[in-house]
Amino acid sequence: MKIKVHPSLCDGHRECRRFAPDFLILDDDGHLELRLAEVPPELQHAVVLAAETCPTDAITVIHELDDRESEHDDVNQDDQTEPIREQPNQRESR
């Protein structure tokens, strides 16, 4: 997972830093210094929360192609799943 920061949208609210202060480094004016960065796995949840909290949507979360492929595979598996049908005589046979 990566993040992209849009400098023109970052207003220096500093809300994002609460979630990952060692990764989301701000400059002296309170703006994010990052532009494009790979997010370490252990920080991904915190960084997603930071992106969701940013009042100006200045942080875009970019999921890797592998993640999307696995999500796509899950969707395909779901599509092939047979609907669960109740067996009317199943309880009676127990």
Residue 46, interface with ligand SF4 (CB under 6 A)? no
Residue 4, interface with ligand SF4 (CB under 6 A)? no
* 78: its two tokens: 């779901």
List the one residue from 19, 20, 23, 32 that touches ligand SF4 (CB under 6 A).
Answer: 32
Find the shortest distance in angstroms from Cβ 15 to ligand SF4.
Answer: 4
**Count of CB atoms within 10 A of residue 51's CB?**
20
| Number of DSSP helices (H) and strands (E) in the chain, helices first | 2, 3
Find the shortest distance in angstroms from Cβ 91 to ligand SF4.
Answer: 56
Strand partners, 37: 3
